[in-house]
Structure 1
Amino acid sequence: MANTTSAKKATRKIARRTIINKSRRTQMRGAVRNVEEAIKSGDREAALKAMAHAEPELMQAAQRNIIHKNNASRKVSRLAHQIAKLAKLAK
């Protein structure tokens, strides 16, 4: 348990940030999930549309230190590669 005033304030602050970060993480994961579902269904147009929404979500999460920037870049790269594979399959 925090004893000093500054430690008590830090605890309150961390609790507030945790709620916000959880919300942002959930939003990011949902955006990625939408892309993955579109890829699974084989719908390239829907996947591209979902990717246009998911990429900024991932990068914002990286900027806000919710995930590491390399993690965000890796996820974007892998999703883009899977979408590109859909285009090759369609031809």
Structure 2
Amino acid sequence: MYRLANIKSAKKRILVAQTKTERNKSIRSSVKTAIKKVEAAVAANDKEAASAALVSATSVISKAESKGVYHKNNASRKIARLAKLVNSIA
């Protein structure tokens, strides 16, 4: 792989940034998947599945927040929206 940097520390920063980017992409992807599961259960009008998916999604989002992938307000907003969605099922 071609890198523009010549200085050792700059080369290391490039590698570290790539590693963190891949990790963050993976975590964001798992959050999106968890959110889609909740939304699918709500669309199917399945209260039990939606509640179970909400618990799982909340856990995944909180872990992403603790790892610094999402800001705390962003994470809590996602959780609140999902909870509101699940509670909208009659």
Higher helix share: 1
* Normalised TM-score (structure 1): 0.89
Superposed CA deviations along residues 38-88 of structure 1, whole A, max 9, x for unmatched, are 0111111000111111001111111222121111101111111121121xx
Q: 70, 75, 78: which one pairs with 1:72? A: 75
Q: Runs of 4 or more off by more than 4 Å in structure 1?
A: none
Give the CA deviation at 1:3. Answer: 2.5
Q: Distance in 2 between matches of 1:65 and 1:36?
A: 25
Alpha-carbon RMSD:
1.0
- What residue in structure 1 maps to residue 86 of structure 2? 83
What runs of 5+ residues in structure 2 fail to find an aligned partner? Answer: none
Overall identity of the aligned pairs, in % = 38
Give the CA deviation at 1:23. Answer: 0.8
Q: Does 1:32 align with 2:39?
A: no
What runs of 5+ residues in structure 1 fail to find an aligned partner? Answer: none
- What residue in structure 1 maps to residue 17 of structure 2? 14
